Amino acid sequence: MPDDLDLDDLREEIKSLKFEIRKQVEQAIQDKNSIRVDIDRDEISQSEPSSVVVKDLVKMIRDGVKTSLAEKGEQAVDTLVEEMPADSAAELLKSLANSERLKIVKLLYSSSRTFSDLKTQTSLEAPSVSHHLKSLLRMGLIVHGDEGGYLLTKRGRMLVRTLALMNEALGGEAVD
């Protein structure tokens, strides 16, 4: 029976260590500090099998960090939504809320295009192409390239990708 008592003591010690680590991890996350757990050498040598303890601790810490990052990520997105200026977001969406502008940015997504290329590939008249390009330029979604063509900006690429993902998530169907 002494072995059972030692095993129970070991289990209690592990529980105690887990509790202390959880507490310090939570505190470090709140304080944005480092994490520190002190274990005496005598305690380490007495808590065999050490590889099982270490694996368990590492797994617990890893799981805690993943959970924390997921929570922090959701909180960050929630904060972005709360702080999003509705007027500028609406203007940004309005800049692409036109099928002809979407055709243009889709063409520019793969490579730069000249005014003539865009006119030909969209089958639009020159004044219409010019109007749409001005709108996209004003919103910073495209820029004039070095060789006279038009390029999609990083911001433009991000918005087009976001719209493509939204379209996919909604199944490509119109939403009332």
DSSP characters for 105-164?
HHHHHHS-B-HHHHHHHHT--HHHHHHHHHHHHHTTSEEE-TTS-EEE-HHHHHHHHHHH
Please indicate whether residue 91 or residue 10 has the higher confidence score (pLDDT). 91
- Report all structural domains of the chain as residue ranges with CATH numbers, in order of start: 2-83 (no CATH), 86-169 (1.10.10.10)
Compute the distance between CA of residue 11 and CA of residue 19 in angstroms, rounded to an integer.
12
Task: Report how far apart, in Å, the C-alpha atoms of 90 and of each of 17, 78, 97 are.
Answer: 52, 18, 10
What is the pLDDT, as a whole number, of residue 1? 44
pLDDT in tens, 68-112: 667 777 777 777 778 888 888 888 788 778 889 999 999 999 999
pLDDT in tens, 19-46: 777 777 777 667 665 555 566 666 555 5
Mean pLDDT of the region 121-127: 94
The answer to whether the CB of 151 falls within 8 A of the CB of 105 is no
Phi, psi of 150 (to 5 degrees): -120, 145
Closest CA to 105 of 71, 73, 140: 140
Q: How many residues does the chain have?
A: 176
Q: 5: helix, coil or strand?
A: helix
Q: 75: helix, coil or strand?
A: helix
In one letter, which amino acid is 3? D
The H-or-E segment that residue 87 falls in is: helix 86-96
Compute the distance between CA of residue 105 and CA of residue 139 in angstroms, rounded to an integer.
13
Percent of the chain predicted with pLDDT > 70: 71
What is the pLDDT, as a whole number, of residue 174? 60
